[in-house]
Chain A
Amino acid sequence: MSFVPGQPVTAVVERVEIQKLRQGENLILGFSIGGGIDQDPGQNPFSEDKSDKGIYVTRISPKGPADLAGLKIGDKIMQVNGWDMTMVTHDQARKKLTKKKEDVVRLLVTRKSLEEAVKHSKGCYPKP
């Protein structure tokens, strides 16, 4: 999942749609994020490339909206509702996720297992 700055990024992504849950007067998604271009990427235990400053899912609340939607811990969030998450600060990411007026967030996430899955499926497929 490493990329070269300036070069286009390609990744196998999964669409995850999370319905925000209302808890009192708050809308929660049920997961935690870490990372950001203003953060120290070396401390991210989920990233393959320790210089990856992307936004990662660091925790999923069990039975929370994110868990139910299929978000997994360690996922890297590429987009939120169309907004890019690969080159944002931590706070910018938070803001994109916590918009009051939106009660659903559509994420594009990527994880290593996705790529592997695609590779495997490609391998099995006999090329015409």
Chain B
Amino acid sequence: MSGTPNAEAEGVVSKVKVKKEIKTIVENLETILGDLKDVAKELKEVVHEIDTLTCDLQLEEDGLTDSSKTDTLNSSSSSTTTTTTASSLEKMKLFPEDCIFKTPASLMPVPINPPGVLTVLKKPHPPLPPPRHTPLRAEDHNVKNLPHPTLVLSGNLSKANGSLLRNGGVFPLKSNRDLFSSTPCFISNDSGIPESGLVPTLPRPMPLLRHEKNKCPKAPGREPRERERVRFSEKVQFHGYCPDCDLQYDVDDTELHLQAELNDLRLSPVHCCSSSPPPPHSLSHEFMLENGGLPVSHSFPPTGNTAPPCVPPHTPSLKPQKTILRKSTTTTV
């Protein structure tokens, strides 16, 4: 009998402690979230740059566009299709998420606390050189194990955090603002990810090699097939546990849109760059098909500003409206 009040008191004390810890964790998570958003922004810029850089490249290499044009020719009347798509970023190569998920799990070298008590560890580790310049060094870092992940998030943040929080596992955490440049960061996604490992990895071939060799045997096969773009939304909220009121926040999962529709499109990067003042060379064979008019690749007739959805890279600020379906096709029949 006398034992019970003590036990109760202890229970209360530990409850308070737990709540405090949870609060700390939540704060840390918020920090991470902010950093991730920055990362996302920068990634967007990078992607835009890639777009413009590879816009020209894709012209000849991509046999799709040519075949599509001949297709329209064959289908009788002269119908020219001009497509402007929101993104030609389907070229982003993704890696299977299992590769990504495996390694972090194996890499969490932290003690597992009894369920119910969460421990947040801050693991300092030396900043890693960007992989693009030093693929070899990346190997040295034993990419297979993907050194020192600071962060593991699932595509559906709610899920990840929920699961991480719930099984009482440990969550190694580094509160480092400089996530972008130095720390390796996993941004994994249910449907694939632009890059796993270090963020960002700009010239894709380099990290591709790295990953192909080490982790993802499927990657080479995966590249040509899947060209999905993952878009990060501004609205990213986490599944939080409010320590004060035992409420659970509603989760708005990250809107990671997949541009699977892009796969249906025949054209993308070609018209991406040809949509702003249409360069004659890319539309030369359309020229004779048109009914005397110039083939203008613009959306539902241009509302003055034929700004192609393939945005030139000088817009670092994020657009408020982020819809994937920014496709607009006009076909002349």
Shortest beta-carbon distance from A93 to chain B in Å: 8
Which of A29-77 touch B at CB < 8 Å? 29-36, 38-40, 42-46, 56, 58-59, 61, 64
Verify B301–A27 contact, CB threshold 8 A: no
Give the segment of A3-11, A98-106, A110-118 that binds chain B.
Answer: A98-106
Interface residue count on the B side (C-beta < 8 Å): 29
Give the distance in Å from the alpha carbon of A93 to the alpha carbon of B76 in the complex. Answer: 14
Residues of B within 8 A of A99 (CB): 75-77
Task: Check A27/B300 contact, CB under 8 A, given A36-B329, A61-B293.
Answer: no
Give the distance in Å from the alpha carbon of A110 to the alpha carbon of B291 in the complex. Answer: 24
Shortest beta-carbon distance from A106 to chain B in Å: 14
Residues of A within 8 A of B72 (CB): 94, 98
Shortest beta-carbon distance from A61 to chain B in Å: 4
Residues of A within 8 A of B246 (CB): none
The reply to whether the CB of A28 lies closer than 8 angstroms to some CB of chain B is yes
Verify A26–B327 contact, CB threshold 8 A: no
The reply to whether the CB of B16 lies closer than 8 angstroms to some CB of chain A is no
Shortest beta-carbon distance from A126 to chain B in Å: 42
Verify B327–A98 contact, CB threshold 8 A: no
Give the distance in Å from the alpha carbon of A100 to the alpha carbon of B79 in the complex. Answer: 11
Verify B329–A34 contact, CB threshold 8 A: yes
Selected A-B contacts with CB under 8 Å, 11 pairs: A23-B291, A26-B289, A28-B77, A34-B300, A38-B264, A39-B327, A43-B300, A45-B300, A56-B300, A59-B330, A98-B333
Beyond A32-B332, A99-B75, 19 extra complex contacts between A and B, CB < 8 Å: A23-B291, A24-B288, A26-B77, A32-B330, A34-B300, A34-B301, A39-B327, A39-B328, A42-B323, A44-B300, A45-B303, A58-B330, A61-B293, A64-B291, A93-B331, A94-B75, A94-B79, A97-B79, A98-B77
